[in-house]
Chains A and B, each alone.
Chain A
Amino acid sequence: MQKLGDFKLPQFFNYPPYFTLQPVRDTREKQIQLWKDLILDYCKTQNVFVIAVEDQDFPLFSNPAIERSLTHEAREAFLSALVSQGRAEWLDKNHRKCLILWHRIQEWANIILEFVKENGLENSVMTVEEIRSGPESRGTELHGIDRTVLMRALKLLEQKGKLAIFKGTTADDEGVKFSA
């Protein structure tokens, strides 16, 4: 079985026609489903948040072993399918970059709440950077989280009154105060 680092690639990844967008609807739906699962699975285990559609080095977009790579059309089709399912979002109008949400924003928000509870951070203040890379989050899913995703989850929690976001002078020192 082919591997990417410690990531085990599924068998269909070695079958050339899966790299061509299928013309028959049923077959294409199955194909898209397989790719969606693969992309989510890969991004989750490898901590990838943003995929650039034209990125030649993104390992899922080509398989040198069988000399196949996904066309632009196919890449966009698979990512769009994730978007329509709420598991991804286009970051620009031209569909060049895609934010992958293997956890939905709501799920990320719950992870943050859990994190606050476990570390007794109620009523405490943390900077956004601290949440992403500080010692408290080490070993949790929050460590290394994409800033856009984190801010979206924080804003969702702010709307629910679970915390307050306050701005510093630069983007770097935006902070959060967790409610009790």
Chain B
Amino acid sequence: MRRRPGIGGLQTAAAARDQYRLLGENVAKIRTDLMKEQLTTFRTQLEDFARKHKNDIRKNPAFRSQFHNMCTKVGVDPLASNKGFWAELLGIGDFYYELGVQIVDICLATRPHNGGLINLQELCNLLRQRRRSDREAVSEDDCLRAISKLKVLGNGFEVISVGKRKLVRSVPTELNKDHNEILELAQAQGFVTVIEVERRLSWTTGRAIDAFDTLLDEGLAMIDDGHKDGIRRYWFPCVSSISTPGGADT
């Protein structure tokens, strides 16, 4: 005969549940403690490391980049707060904010010429020229980090990849795939022609002209009718630095 549920059985079950819960809590606590301990050790180690290599981190861009990589892997962002331990220890928070301000400055200053799209390399060069009094070297990686920090100001700044190069966009223009392909093509000589686009990308004339018109409207392209072959060239100041005119005679 089956036993019917009685008060005793219920009590036993409740007691067992309590036991299990207690045991579980203990195990979890032990684990957390262990984890906490590991984290503390890790943090101390990382701090020691940062302290030991403080100068390297500040002076050597390659080392800095690797340090950042390491931090990202373990989920620490030394730039997360300017007031935090890392900024105090390394002073690199200020470094990137300073870079950020200078980058904004350069982007604004060159905007009339390049329509708000600038080659990362050129941006870096201009940045170095401006900072030549500072001994601390600046790498492209630093520029990218500084730009990523500018995102908190809204989505005004963005790094886009076109072909092998990176371009920094400081105007809210949306470039579609067609525009990107044209920019990529233009990197070789600094300019492209409609015929070239038709041939290399297998586009129709209409599609090419349409894309060019948008790029002209955005101030990212300029026309050049002055070549002796009479074929209109579309130049892109953002891919060819004005100080080093490339492919002018081709």
Binding site for B on A (CB under 8 A): 11-12, 14-20, 22-24, 26-27, 30-31, 65-69, 71
B216 at the interface (CB under 8 A from A): yes
| A14 contacts B242, C-beta separation under 8 Å | yes
- Closest chain B residue to A33 by CB distance? B112
- Tell whether A15 pairs with B242 under 8 Å between CB atoms, given A24-B216, A26-B219, A30-B112: yes
The residue of chain B having its C-beta at the shortest distance from the C-beta of A12 within the complex is: B242
Which residues from chain A contact B224 at a C-beta distance below 8 Å?
16-17, 19-20, 68
14 contacts between A and B (CB under 8 A): A14-B248, A15-B245, A16-B224, A16-B226, A16-B235, A16-B245, A19-B226, A20-B224, A27-B216, A27-B222, A30-B112, A30-B113, A68-B227, A71-B226
Cβ-neighbour of B219 out of A11, A27, A66 (below 8 A): A27
Complex contact B226–A11 (CB within 8 A): no
- Asked whether B228 lies within 8 Å of A24 as measured between CB atoms, the reply is no
> In the complex, which of the residues B113, B223, B226 has the most CB atoms of chain A within 10 Å of its own CB atom?
B226
Q: Who on chain B is nearest to A11 by CB? A: B242
B174 an interface residue at 8 Å Cβ cutoff?
no
- Residue in B223, B237, B243, B245 whose CB lies within 8 Å of A66: B245
- Expressed in whole angstroms, the minimum distance between the Cβ of B87 and any Cβ of chain A is 38
* In the complex, chain A residues whose CB is within 8 Å of the CB of B223: 17, 20, 22-23
10 A-B pairs with the lowest CB-CB distances in the bound complex, closest first: A17-B222, A17-B224, A68-B226, A17-B235, A66-B248, A16-B224, A20-B225, A30-B112, A14-B245, A19-B226
- Please name the residue on chain B nearest to A26 by beta carbon: B219
Q: Chain B, 70-99, contact with A by CB distance < 8 Å: what is the 0/1 string?
A: 000000000000000000000000000000
Considering only CB atoms, which chain B residue lies closest to A10 in the complex?
B242
Specify which of A16, A30, A65, A66 lies most central, judged by the most chain B CB atoms within 10 Å of its CB: A16
Any chain A CB within 8 A of the CB of B217?
yes
Are the CB atoms of A17 and B219 closer together than 8 Å? no
List, in ascending order, chain B residues with CB within 8 A of A65's CB: 248
| B249 contacts partner chain A, Cβ-Cβ < 8 Å | yes
B50 to chain A, nearest CB (A): 42
**210-230 of chain B: CB within 8 A of chain A:** 216-217, 219, 222-228
Find residues 184-237 in chain B having any chain A CB closer than 8 Å to their own CB: 191, 216-217, 219, 222-228, 233, 235, 237
* 0 or 1 for each of B87-117: is its CB under 8 Å from A? (1 = yes): 0000000000000000000000000110100
A67 touches B216 (CB 8 A): no
Nearest Cβ distance between residue A42 and chain B, in whole angstroms? 19
**Residue of B at shortest CB range from A27?**
B219
Is the Cβ of A66 less than 8 Å from the Cβ of B249?
yes
* Nearest-Cβ distance from residue A16 to partner chain B, whole angstroms: 5
